[in-house]
Structure 1
Amino acid sequence: MQAPAPRRRRWLARAALAVVAPLAFAGLAELAIVASGFSYPPDTSPISVFVPEGEVEGRKLHERDARELWRPAPGASVPWGRDVVNAAGCRGPLLERAKTTGVVRIAALGDSSTFGYGVRYEECWAGRLAGELETRGVRAEVLDAGVIGSTVRMGHARYSALVRDYAPDVVIAAYGAVNEHAASIGKPDDVLIRELAFQRGAFGRVAERLRAESRLAQLAAWWVDEARGGRAQIEQERREARAWIGKHLETIGRSDWAGERRVSVAEYGRFLRELVQAARGDGARCVLLAPGRQDVVERETPVLLDYTAATKDAARELGVPLVDGRAAMGAEGDAYDALYLDHFHPTPEGHRRLAARLAETVNELVRGR
């Protein structure tokens, strides 16, 4: 039974008033604030993201990316060979999205050692892996998605933004060598990535425009900042945080360092597990590579051993094959200068040994041993 017409009209009038009254109040408030001359524009300081080294003849190797923070720039010349970054933003040959029957597709996610810092592409482990597998009777192709300066949080984002679309059969994740323990770039990597994700979303774009153009929104922002002591106080806290890091960099390698890291040890373990679970959810099998380092680094920066332990814990808990990079590279007892370009990055010989050990592991994985 329908309500009488007068009752329905009263209900509609109340509903309209409930909508119109706040809008009218907001409009009047906006006019009043404009008339008062109040203005509190957004802080123009953008999120500052450091893009690591790598220039050839003035061309940067990396570009900023709203999802990954940064990535290799397509078409950029690689300093250590004659190759260029391919159109997908990876090193090595450009793979078709469609897979070839009988060919195992492997995605290599990691930092500069995965990208092939200091060596030609055909010398790095990602560039050698398909050939190593071929000698074992396995046809394979490799997507080298390594990024210089990357952390496992960036790798998680890169998997979602790029690697997933290639539907890899095997994902090799090589993180925890050194980048995660570094001081945060203003904010931890996870916070930076989430803030950038919000900004590029529809709601974020609307909120950003309102913040820039609405005086009522500016007044609300002013109240929030004043509750924290005002914009000057907020900037002072930022400067003090940066100054604190500068004064305590000498102890950053300790496990009990009180500063803010790019990715803490606890976050590292969580994001590594999430990356493996995401790849498994897409049907891929995973291998974790614990990158090698020289002994002196681990003595001077013992927190790095915590990241290695977290990698091993994740592999054990998830039932994922683990390749110990240091053991693989040092198995033949050669001097460090034959295996490392510096404290972290493998020589061509170091890469060869890594590729051989990874090939053994992947071979067993795909053959179900």
Structure 2
Amino acid sequence: MILKYLWAQRRSNALLLLELTLVGIMLFYVVNAFLDAYGVYRIPLGFTTERSYVINLQKTKKANITGHQLKDSLDRFLRTRKEIDQFAYTFDSEPFSGDRNCWPIVVGGVEQQLNIRVSDVNFPSLLGVHINEGRWFTEAELLQNSKVCLITEGLKEFLKRPYPVGTMLSFGNPTEESLRIIGVIPDLKYGTYEPPVLSIFRPMDLEDNFFEWKMIVKVKEGQKEDFAQTLKLFTSDVSKSLGLVVLSVNDFDTKKQFADTNSTNAIWSLFWCAFFFLVNVILGIYVVFSGRVKKRVSELAIRMAVGSSRRGIIALVLGESILLLLLSSIVVLVVALNMAHFGILDGKIPFTAWRFIADFLFVELILLISVSSSVLVPAVKASRIEPAMALHYE
């Protein structure tokens, strides 16, 4: 009976079907974007930066010192400061640096860009980077600029090597050097909403570009929140004697906030756009479906006059609307599958079958609640009309 009625009203129902289909597709895209952002947010950073600062150093033209001598001098000075708990050195590889020094690698015919990061031996202990397999490089390997590296878990999966420690990592180009893998660390993120990138860590070359070193310093508990200024003052004293200039001293909380700004603004913009879109969708569905029921009040009252129950009237109206929703869901499913197949839905994290199912079910739940609430209220009102009044009107 419901199918016969839908077919009899096929012209108006076709417009409703088209509206539900378009709304479903747009909602599916928006929901996927939010789930993608939430999935990235849930991934841990892979390190800790509490009570830590980064000091940017630059070599002056008057400096006449090697990288090894510079490291020894800074080490001796930093160990004398009672405020400092730990320290490490790096070239633009500290958290939230925004550095994207990449090398290409090809595995199984697939090219992938690797993020190349360099540091000294104290980097993992200062930032709490866990070693999942193998070990970090030693002081001897740092001083000798040994061709060793550690890879992240994501790169391990890309390489398809269950036990990568001890193997060589080649970069496709015969002129490029190969590195021996000595350890595996967790995936690292350099922003709350930034996905992990395939990365390797290798010993920093003490003679290469040491004029732009960065020191990461972790201070002991109990220091003032504005300790960055104090840190800049006493590091400036020793830097001048070594021919260096302290460009800036930044705490990692500030760097993290700066790194997250663009992503956070984009997500909030998407949120408000999605919110207004969703409100308009729900209001539009309510107006269309409730108006459709109100136009049939006389018909529904007559059905009650000839024997239909109030529960049967509500079930009839609700069943018609849900059937339209199911028909539109088939089209939405087909379109969504094609969007996933052609990579339109690819975000910051891999698009899996489980996420596709979650997106689709969540969209259908929103539409089901919207459609059901839109027809239930006028249907209940229509079911309360006395049949005699409807017959008298007819």
TM-score, length-scaled by structure 1? 0.19
Higher relative contact order (CA 8 A, sep 6+): 2
State which structure, 1 or 2, has the greater radius of gyration over its C-alpha atoms. 2
TM-score, length-scaled by structure 2? 0.18
